[in-house]
Amino acid sequence: MARRKTPTTAKAAKAAALREPSRRGRSHLQPVGEAPKGTHEFDLAAAVKRMDLGFLQCRDFGHSWRPFTARWMPSDNCYESQLQCQRCKTVRTRFLSRRGEQLSGGYDYAEGYLVKGMGRLTGTDRDSIRLASIQAVLQHDAAEEA
């Protein structure tokens, strides 16, 4: 089995630095580390009620990625590829080698996507997200029928 080459520290640092200026819509709210199971520093139900429907659906179904931008970066000898979610507008950036190997990557989340204190979601948290997502669709359908 062939070993994958990992980028050098300098190359990875340069790729990370290249991502910094393109923080399109990056929320000032950054995720906090995972809280111990069964305890949260926030009220999940209240956070879910305030969440945009597109954000709920992306957290429920996963993002709906579409090509956004791409460019060859000769100084780094790699490609920068950006995908954008059609629902929530989050941008996923990937740095790829000439052969298509992913060197590094990251996400620029849409304003409001990250919720302060939420951190990583537990299985129960994801259940709440799925339930809120389906209830929002039901409410929307009921409003259209009225």
pLDDT in tens, 80-138: 999 999 999 999 999 999 999 999 999 999 988 888 877 787 888 889 899 999 998 89
Residue 69: the pLDDT is 97
Is residue 75, in this structure, part of any structural domain at all?
yes
pLDDT of the residue at 85: 97
Decide if 136 is inside a domain: yes
Maximal CA-CA distance, the chain: 61
Tell me if 78 sits within 8 A of 94, measured CB to CB: no
Residue 21 domain-assigned (yes or no): no
Residue 70 · residue 79 · CB < 8 Å: yes
In a domain, residue 20? The reply is no
Number of structural domains (the chain) is 1
- Assess if residue 3 is contained within a domain: no
Is residue 9 situated within a structural domain? no
Q: With respect to residue 60, please indicate whether it lies within any of the assigned structural domains.
A: yes
Structure tokens at 30: 């950054």
Residue 5 lies in a domain: no
- Residues near 110 by Cβ (< 8 Å), separated by ≥ 6? 25, 27, 55, 85, 88, 89, 90
> 90, 95, 114: which is closest to 105 by C-alpha?
95
Range of the domain at 78: 40-145
More confident residue, 142 or 85: 85
What is the residue whose two structure tokens read 């791409």? 70
What percent of the chain stands above pLDDT 70? 71
Token pair in block for residue 123: 């299985």
Residue showing tokens 């990625």: 65
Q: Which of 129 and 20 is assigned the larger pLDDT?
A: 129
User: Quick check: 35 pLDDT over 90?
Assistant: no
